[in-house]
Structures are given as structure tokens and as C-alpha cells.
A and B are shown apart, each in its own frame.
Chain A
Amino acid sequence: DTAVSQTPKYLVTQMGNDKSIKCEQNLGHDTMYWYKQDSKKFLKIMFSYNNKELIINETVPNRFSPKSPDKAHLNLHINSLELGDSAVYFCASSLGERLYTDTQYFGPGTRLTVL
């Protein structure tokens, strides 16, 4: 059973398009995250949701909009895609933001290529 899953695994699209990436976790965790990994393999957090509530929103263009329909799902919608959005996007989850420190478990990633 996959703990944190993402779809699609690969996404190739044209500049200006709108696309979504979906994430689901079956660990019963309360908190979910989106990270971006650039071409130099640097992982940087974008958003975090706890029980469907946004708790972390780093400096990310407002073309990126996370949506959490329930605590097991966190989707990422990107409007007006730009070349610089090309990266690997990782979803992660952890037991709960209420804990002082909390191990995060990552999905397999979605490689987005904007042409």
C-alpha cells in the first residue's frame, strides 16, 4: 500500500496552461505539505495544511493555489504556467502539527515540464 501517492507522475504542458497535481495519503495524518525541488535538487516548502486549514504559505506566486477537500487529500493547482515552474513537486504528510516535532513522509513526486 502506498502511503503518500501523487498523480500524475509526469506532466508536460505548454506555457500559459492551467494544471493540477493531486496528492493522497492513507496514513491517517492530519498535516500535508507541498515542496518544490528545483534542477539543483534543492527542496523548498511551498504550503502546509493541517486538518484542511492552511498553516504555512511561503513566498509562492499566487498562481499556485492549494486545495484540501479533506485531511487525506491536498491538491495543487497552478494557473498560467511559466517556464520557471518546471521542477519536481513533492507532497508530504505528517501525523499532526500539534506535535512539537513531527516526521514527514514524502510521496514519489510529480515532474512538471513547462515548454
Chain B
Amino acid sequence: EDQVTQSPEALRLQEGESSSLNCSYTVSGLRGLFWYRQDPGKGPEFLFTLYSAGEEKEKERLKATLTKKESFLHITAPKPEDSATYLCAVQAGAGGGNKLTFGTGTQLKVEL
């Protein structure tokens, strides 16, 4: 069974204090790894898709990287508006449709 584990569960940063969130996974045949951001009371908002080890993607202060076992979401000089829960999900296997298996998320709070 596909498994996704995210760490830490919660992270508190000062504004400008860079850090990384981890997503480790065990799947049979990774098709894609997704990062989403979820604000309280809202649905997950798509950030990135990574398809193969070594791939990197950037968007503003966020950079996602992928290895064969884990993905990192690096946050550079975060601002309070980056506060949210960050969810990692994988799509795996040759069949079974396009279901996403999610981790439990990292709740990030960025303080002034």
C-alpha cells in the first residue's frame, strides 16, 4: 500500500527564516508527486507536480525537489502569508485511476 509521511507536523518560523518541509514516500511505481497548500476552511490549492528524481520546481519563495524516496519543499525567506498547511500527495501504480494518496500535512506558521 502506498504511504506518504510528512514532517514535521507543525513548524513555526520567524519571517525571513528559511526552512524545509519533508515528504517521504513508499509507492510501487511513482507517477507523480504533488504539493498542495491548504488554508483554513478552504480546499487544497495546487502548487507543484514532480515526476522523476532530480527534478526541481520553483514558485516565488517555494522550491520543491524530488529524490527516489522523498521530496522537500524549501521555503526561502517566508512571509506571514505563507502560513498554511502544506500537503504532499503521490500518484502511483500502473492502474487504479488517478487517485492521490495524501500525507497528513505540515502546518506552517510564519510570525513577524
Known A56-B99, A102-B98, A106-B36; 6 more pairs at CB < 8 Å? A4-B43, A41-B105, A48-B98, A101-B51, A103-B49, A106-B46
Known: A43-B87, A101-B49, A103-B49. A55 touches B34 (CB 8 A): no
User: Is there contact, CB below 8 Å, between B43 and A108?
Assistant: yes
Complex Cα gap A44–B100 (Å): 8
- Min CB–CB distance B42 → chain A (angstroms): 6
On B, residues with C-beta under 8 Å from A are 31-32, 34, 36, 38, 41-46, 49, 51, 85, 87, 89, 91, 96-102, 104-105
Q: Give the contacting residue for B96; candidates A31, A56, A107, A109; CB below 8 A.
A: A56
Known: A45-B99, A48-B99, A94-B98. A103 touches B34 (CB 8 A): yes
CB neighbours of B31 from chain A (8 A): 100-101
- Min CB–CB distance A9 → chain B (angstroms): 9
CB neighbours of A106 from chain B (8 A): 36, 43-46
CB neighbours of A105 from chain B (8 A): 46
CB neighbours of A92 from chain B (8 A): 43
Complex Cα gap A104–B36 (Å): 10
Known: A43-B44, A106-B43, A109-B43. A31 touches B105 (CB 8 A): no
Q: Give the contacting residue for A56; candidates B34, B44, B97; CB below 8 A.
A: B97
User: Is there contact, CB below 8 Å, between B43 and A107?
Assistant: yes
- Min CB–CB distance B1 → chain A (angstroms): 12
Q: Chain A: which residue is nearest B51 at the CB level?
A: A101
Known: A40-B104, A41-B85, A42-B104. A101 touches B98 (CB 8 A): yes
